[in-house]
Structure 1
Amino acid sequence: MKDYIEERVLALAEYIVTTNSTVRAAAKRFKVSKSTVHKDVTERLQEISPSLAAQVKSVLDVNKAERHIRGGLATREKYNHIKEDE
């Protein structure tokens, strides 16, 4: 694995663990695609640091369990703004 990829993988993992970030937020922060973030933290990180990979997995599992709630809140906010504009 190339050095810059390994550095990115570790930086992504540290960011996700310290901020409890979602894959989408991490992708935006590091200016890479969500697919890249996902591949980095699920496949590549396991080879580099299994303990850090376990921490990232626990954060991503929590985010996955809560995503339906965030989606509902976002939809409610969207329609509240539409009502206010009318």
Structure 2
Amino acid sequence: MKGNVEERAISLGNFIVENKTTVRHAAKAFGVSKSTVHKDVSDRLKKLNPALCREVKKVLEINKQERHIRGGLATRHKYQVLKEEE
């Protein structure tokens, strides 16, 4: 979905809010880079739909606060899999 930039920004914003997802997951779902998602939901969305932009920022802030937990869980899972393979 690389067509209309404004439509993509609104679609990305809705996707992030509805699914409470990360920027990385949204980028993969829409086939764009993480940088593009950030640009769309922070700069472009602010001008197009300020209310949606505020909702997206809330979700992204929660993701930012939880990222160290997710990283730790991923590392734990990695070593559990390695231990099982031995």
Say whether the fold is shared (TM-score over 0.5). Answer: yes
| AA partner of residue 13 (structure 1) | G
Displaced runs of 4+ in structure 1, greater than 6 A?
none
TM-score (norm 2): 0.96
Matches within 5 A, 1:7-86: 7-86=7-86
Gapped regions of structure 1 (runs ≥ 5): none
SS class of match (1:32): coil
Write the distance in 1 (CA, Å) between the matches of 2:82 and 2:56.
Answer: 37
Cα RMSD after superposing both structures: 0.8
TM-score (norm 1): 0.96
Q: Unaligned 5+ residue runs, structure 2? A: none
Aligned partner letter, 1:16 = I
